[in-house]
């Protein structure tokens, strides 16, 4: 077998996972069921699970199910048939797009030889009580050159270009990507070359725009920063390159060089196989940091095995085609990759997207706070309490330190989480929520203390009148023989006067409290004490209110 043939990718799979933040549908509702707005769209259909029907439940489903620990099983599959928000059922809802069957890709420098890939499925994953969704796109093809498979991994999952080449092509993007229906008709195409569109959008909305073919896939959902109307609005939460799972089976994967493996694991631009994509010093710990080689056998062994690589944003499996298609153990390695390993990778990215969403909501609540407007303060308190409740429910329902005891699944989860930094991100969001919650608690305590002081002042000054009237036995005026109507009138007049005096004392309670503090201080002379008493009736100057506006232009 020639070197070119041994580097031929017999089967190729790519699964994109694109986390998106969903905007609230109703401002006064804490839990938003966004998926309900997709149920009437003809292009999306809810995917029913196979649990409950023994005829549909295969060994592949069982292998996927038993991969996970029990509490993860309950999150993914629930404890009863169906999906929804009823206790005991899965909080996961999946909708599948039914009109896109293929994707045609045109590569830079080879515009005359586009490649058509089959679309395995296009799904939207929704999670109960989390305002995030994950778009999952799976494509596959057979008998590709290694260079073409690697370039597809590198270029396909781009939501927008970060720069443009001299010829107008979007940097790191495909020359053209087209979604096709079952008859080969073009449903939507990319527009990475429209530089003015992306520049205008960013200047207008201060947010990136996405390519038209991704807009089509996500429809009827629309970008939050846009003039389009749609039932669900979303915004980006991560980088323009989507997290990706890649699968390559070759006749002899040992023909791949160390540089090839590094480019796959890190999804770097294509390059010569005999070179590394980084300096040798930085590549020293590549195998230790990014590779799981427990099942990757050294040269000379009869069985080649599988190399799994993970960099957080990418998870790639490479192995021998004959071994990966073998079902002698019930389920092939390809099926393991498409289901349980994909779910492990997805869970880690659900964590990251959810924490980004919570952090964004906290920042939004803080930006809307105006400490000089009582309604703004009350709204801020409600929002922070609500976000803390959401964070607590996220922790107990979705946050895991372990998802599996199977070696590869366990290692993959730890590698992905460590590379993404979700543990650190979780602690940061927790600290942000606790800081704001402590501020609210301290503010409540301060307000209660002020109220106690005011009531104490009213009690002290009310004590004077109580003692004086008590000394005279409450008989300062003899109205025994006065007609009943006059006595009732006197009662209401006195009640109104005393009530007015009490309220006036409360209004002046802060300054009266300051006067009492000065009066009780033996180090202060009588002049200052009299001044503190007179200060009770001096008008208070209101501080000038500062208005926040856009930053002034730079000189």
Structure tokens at 393: 């429910």
Distance CA 361, CA 355 (A): 10
Token pair 């004077």 is found at: 464
Token pair 């006195």 is found at: 494
Distance CA 247, CA 298 (A): 20
**CB atoms inside a 10 Å sphere around CB 360:** 14
Contact between 105 and 317 (Cβ < 8 Å): no
Distance CA 136, CA 159 (A): 13
Distance CA 12, CA 428 (A): 38
Token pair 């309900």 is found at: 36
Residues in contact with 125: Cβ distance below 8 Å, sequence separation at least 6, in sequence order: 92, 93, 94, 133, 134, 136, 346, 350
Distance CA 408, CA 413 (A): 9
Structure tokens at 131: 């305002």
Q: What is the pLDDT of residue 485?
A: 76
Half-sphere exposure of 357 (CA within 13 A, CB side): 27
Distance CA 148, CA 336 (A): 24
Q: What is the pLDDT of residue 475?
A: 56
How many residues are present in the chain?
555
Q: Buried (b) or exposed (e) across 52-88, using 16+ Cβ within 10 A?
A: eeeeeeeebbebbbebbbeebbbbbbbeeeebbeeee
Nearest residue to 505 (alpha-carbon basis) of 552, 446, 459: 459
Contact between 341 and 17 (Cβ < 8 Å): no
Distance CA 338, CA 352 (A): 21
Q: What is the pLDDT of residue 298?
A: 79
Structure tokens at 101: 């069957």
130-145 and 102-107 beta bridge pairing: unpaired
CA dihedral 395→94→134→212, nearest 10 degrees, is -160
- Tell me how far apart the terminal alpha carbons of the chain are, to the nearest angstrom: 67
Helices (H), 304-341: 321-324, 333-336
Q: Buried (b) or exposed (e) across 443-472, using 16+ Cβ within 10 A?
A: eeeeeeeeeebbeebbeebeeeeeeeeeee
Q: What is the pLDDT of residue 453?
A: 67
Nearest residue to 158 (alpha-carbon basis) of 198, 112, 205: 198
Distance CA 388, CA 382 (A): 10
Distance CA 361, CA 356 (A): 9
Q: What is the pLDDT of residue 60?
A: 86
Phi, psi dihedrals of residue 292, rounded to the nearest 5°: -115, 105
Distance CA 134, CA 93 (A): 11
Q: What is the pLDDT of residue 476?
A: 54
Q: What is the pLDDT of residue 550?
A: 43
Distance CA 518, CA 107 (A): 82
Distances (CA, A) of 431 to 130, 237, 282, 398, 495: 20, 20, 33, 19, 52
Q: Which residues pair with 310 in a beta bridge?
A: 315
Distances (CA, A) of 38 to 19, 43, 134: 18, 9, 14
Q: What is the pLDDT of residue 504?
A: 72
Token pair 């990418």 is found at: 314
Question: With a cut of 50, which residues of the chain have pLDDT below it?
Answer: 1, 82, 471-472, 546-555
The backbone region for 385, taken as left when phi is positive above 0, alpha when psi lies in -120 to 50, beta otherwise, is alpha
Element (H, E) at 347: helix 342-367
């Amino acid at each position: 077998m020639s070197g070119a043939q041994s580097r031929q990718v017999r089967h190729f799979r790519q699964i994109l996972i694109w986390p998106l933040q969903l905007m609230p549908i109703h401002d006064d509702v804490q839990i938003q069921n966004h998926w309900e707005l997709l149920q009437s769209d003809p292009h999306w259909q809810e995917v029913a699970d196979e649990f409950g029907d023994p005829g549909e439940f295969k060994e592949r489903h069982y292998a996927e199910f038993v991969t996970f620990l029990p509490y993860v099983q309950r999150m993914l599959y629930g404890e009863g048939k169906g999906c929804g928000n009823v206790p005991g059922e899965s909080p996961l809802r999946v909708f599948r797009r039914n009109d896109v069957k293929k994707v045609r890709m045109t590569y830079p420098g080879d515009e005359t030889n586009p490649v058509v890939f089959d679309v395995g499925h296009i799904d939207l994953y929704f999670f109960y009580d989390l305002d995030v969704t994950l778009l999952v796109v799976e494509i596959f093809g057979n008998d590709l050159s290694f260079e073409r498979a690697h370039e597809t991994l590198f270029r396909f999952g781009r939501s927008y270009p970060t720069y443009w080449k001299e010829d107008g092509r979007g940097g790191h993007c495909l020359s053209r990507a087209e979604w096709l229906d079952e008859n080969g008709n073009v449903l939507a195409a990319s527009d990475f070359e429209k530089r003015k569109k992306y520049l205008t959008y960013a200047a207008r909305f201060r947010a990136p725009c996405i390519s038209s073919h991704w807009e089509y896939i996500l429809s009827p959902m629309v970008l939050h920063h846009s003039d389009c109307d749609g039932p669900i609005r979303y915004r980006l939460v991560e980088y323009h390159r989507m997290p990706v799972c890649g699968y390559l089976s070759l006749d002899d994967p040992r023909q791949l060089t160390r540089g090839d493996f590094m480019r796959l694991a890190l999804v770097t631009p294509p390059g010569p196989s005999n070179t590394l994509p980084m300096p040798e010093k930085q590549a020293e710990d590549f195998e230790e940091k990014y590779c799981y080689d427990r099942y990757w056998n050294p040269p000379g062994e009869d069985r080649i095995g599988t190399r799994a690589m993970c960099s957080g944003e990418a998870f790639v499996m490479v192995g021998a085609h004959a071994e990966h298609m073998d079902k002698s153990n019930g389920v092939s390695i390809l099926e393991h990759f498409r289901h349980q390993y994909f779910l492990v990778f997805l869970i880690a990215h659900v964590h990251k997207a959810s924490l980004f969403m919570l952090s964004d909501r906290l920042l939004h609540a803080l930006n809307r706070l105006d400490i000089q407007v009582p309604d703004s303060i009350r709204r801020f308190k409600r929002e922070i309490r609500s976000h803390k409740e959401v964070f607590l429910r996220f922790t107990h329902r979705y946050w895991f330190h372990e998802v599996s005891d199977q070696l590869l699944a366990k290692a993959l989860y730890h590698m992905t989480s460590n590379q993404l930094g979700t543990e650190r991100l979780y602690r940061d969001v927790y600290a942000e929520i606790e800081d704001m919650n402590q501020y609210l608690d301290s503010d409540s305590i301060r307000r209660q203390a002020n109220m106690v002081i005011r009531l104490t002042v009213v009690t002290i000054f009310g004590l004077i009148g109580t003692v004086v009237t008590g000394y005279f036995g409450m008989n300062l005026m003899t109205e025994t023989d006065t007609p009943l109507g006059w006595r009732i009138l006197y009662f209401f007049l006195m009640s109104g006067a005393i009530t007015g005096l009490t309220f006036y004392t409360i209004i002046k309670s802060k300054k009266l409290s300051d006067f009492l503090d000065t009066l009780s201080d033996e180090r202060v002379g009588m002049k200052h004490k009299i001044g503190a008493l007179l200060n009770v009736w001096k008008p208070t100057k209101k501080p000038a209110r500062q208005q926040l506006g856009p930053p002034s232009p730079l000189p």
